[in-house]
Amino acid sequence: MENTGREFLKKTQYQYLPPSDQMVGKTQPPLEVPYTDGGEEIPLPPMPSDTVPKTDLARAIRHRESRRTYRKEPVTIDELAWLLWSTQGVKRRNGNEYTFRTVPSAGARHAFETYVLVNNVEGVAPGLYRYLALSHTLAEVTRDAGLADSLFQACLHQQFVKENAGTILWVAVPYRMTWRYGERGYRYLFLDAGHVCQNLYLAAEAVGCGVCAIGAYDDEAVNTILGLDGIEQFVIYIATVGRMTART
């Protein structure tokens, strides 16, 4: 397994890439994985909203840092809607071809689905939900009470994973990206994940929330928690959110 990373970088250079599926005329994948869990669907408040305080961008950048300690006060559903919209919200859509969202993405492919493990959100029962970006809706996946502890273990026993308002998990759907870019598209997935999480950090500053991004987790365990196969869909990044404690 030595030099696996170097091999990845080498083999995803343009000189090694065959024509992509888009180039050979194959139908593109859907813009969003269909929601089939059949649970409660919660329409979220339209965004941006007057309920979200205005904040200075320079101030948000200056104060942004990873925060692993949160107050027990819940996050409101308006605030959760703001955070989800800021990281994957759809600004406009061109039929079934592509969307323009609140974050950049290679070729406007936006190859992520967003899951939220709700622990302490006002008006939302604890459980696992999906953010359906096309309809700006929070859709129930399961209310299994054991998921928070399972995620804590899968995130290598980082305590703040259990002691927050919610944990956001971004799931990559690689074919949505590789359809256009071939194997090089895997590079773009990781770049896009960085764009998304930085927006979360900055958006959280506006509503008095703290964020901590998590890259240290057991991939197979987290994929199993979400019911993913780890190939067609897999967790690519995780972040916790909670009410900010006093600044230090």
In a domain, 5, yes or no: no
In a domain, 91, yes or no: yes
- What residue numbers bound the domain in which 205 lies? 39-244
pLDDT per residue as tens digits for the range 91-132: 999 999 999 999 999 999 999 999 999 999 999 999 999 999
Over 90: is that where the pLDDT of 51 sits? no
Residue 14 in any domain: the answer is no
Residue 190 lies in a domain: yes
Please indicate, yes or no, if residue 34 is contained in any of the structural domains. Answer: no
Tens-digit pLDDT profile for residues 216-226: 999 999 999 99
Q: Tell me whether residue 15 is in a domain.
A: no
Question: Does residue 1 belong to any structural domain of this protein?
Answer: no
Give me the residues paired with residue 121 across strands.
Answer: 75, 124
| pTM assigned to the model | 0.96
For residue 43, pLDDT beyond 80: yes
| Residues ≥6 apart with Cβ < 8 Å to 145 | 126
The CATH number of residue 205's host domain is 3.40.109.10
Count of domains in the chain?
1
* Over residues 235-240, mean pLDDT: 98
Structure confidence at residue 247 (pLDDT): 60
